[in-house]
Amino acid sequence: MQYITGIHGNERVPVVALASIGVPQIVANERALAINQRFIDTDMNRSFGRDGHCYEIDRAREVLESLTDEPLIDFHTMSADSEPFSIVVDKKMIPLAKTLGLPVVYMKRNIKKGYSLINHHDGVSVEAGIHDTQEAYDMTKLIHRRAEFGAEIDVDVYEVYDKIIEPGVYKNFVEQDGFYPVLAGERAYDFFGLKAKKVYGVVGNTKVSKTFVPGSSPGRPAKGVI
Ligand SMILES: [Zn+2]
């Protein structure tokens, strides 16, 4: 397993938490971290695999070149008042995500336009908690322990199928208007959040367990950027 931290420079807690327990990590956006800003030139998690040059695009290229073939865990924190969750863009990463013990959000490639780290390397992104909180610090260390232990945990799995364009008050993973909202609360969103459906877990009194069919795509694909 490889651990990536600090893709966003205002998400410092996972960097410090892993350092505190001596876990090797690739700290992605050191210049933005040094000034506690999300980025220098552009959002690094929209910079992987892009042509051109600026600090984040060049650094994203370096990060990809420094990775081994091992899967990775990419740590983030968020401004949304939400429980922690994990994100995958490839169905085959769902078993790895389940070992982390957090709700799993499966986003198809087109939702991040293909330029996030996990679009370019097998792995899972984690929203470990709210920026600069003790909870996010403790959760980062717990997630690391679970990742190293490697046992799958029975968690809810959500599949994103659209973006939220209606203004409203949404709470992460609390069903409303027929969907489950997924939000990280960053200004980087150009929409309110994402609509997901639960594909594994309990809905009402019923256990749902949808079998994934490669290539099937219920619902309208989202075109937003996060
Ligand atoms: Zn982030």
Q: Confirm or reject CATH 3.40.630.10 for domain 2-149, answering yes or no.
A: yes
Query: How many angstroms is it from 76 CA to the middle of ligand 1?
Result: 4
**CB-CB contact of 68 with 57 (8 Å):** no
pLDDT per residue as tens digits for the range 145-199: 999 999 999 999 999 998 888 878 888 999 998 999 998 766 544 567 889 999 9
**CB-CB contact of 107 with 162 (8 Å):** no
Query: How many angstroms is it from 175 CA to the middle of ligand 1?
Result: 24
- Give the length of the chain: 226
Query: How many angstroms is it from 25 CA to the middle of ligand 1?
Result: 16
Query: How many angstroms is it from 86 CA to the middle of ligand 1?
Result: 12
Angle at 217 between CA 204 and CA 46, to 5 degrees: 100
**pTM for this structure?**
0.88
Alpha helices by DSSP H, 13-110: 13-20, 30-34, 55-66, 94-99
Domain ranges in the chain are 2-149, 160-209
Structure tokens at 30: 């050191």
List per-residue pLDDT tens for the chain, 226 residues long: 999 999 999 999 999 999 999 999 999 999 999 999 999 999 999 999 999 999 999 999 999 999 999 999 999 999 888 899 999 999 999 999 999 999 999 997 556 578 999 999 999 999 999 999 999 999 999 999 999 999 999 999 999 998 888 878 888 999 998 999 998 766 544 567 889 999 999 888 888 887 554 444 444 433 333 3
Query: How many angstroms is it from 206 CA to the middle of ligand 1?
Result: 34
Which letter does DSSP use for residue 214 in this model? T
Query: How many angstroms is it from 8 CA to the middle of ligand 1?
Result: 5
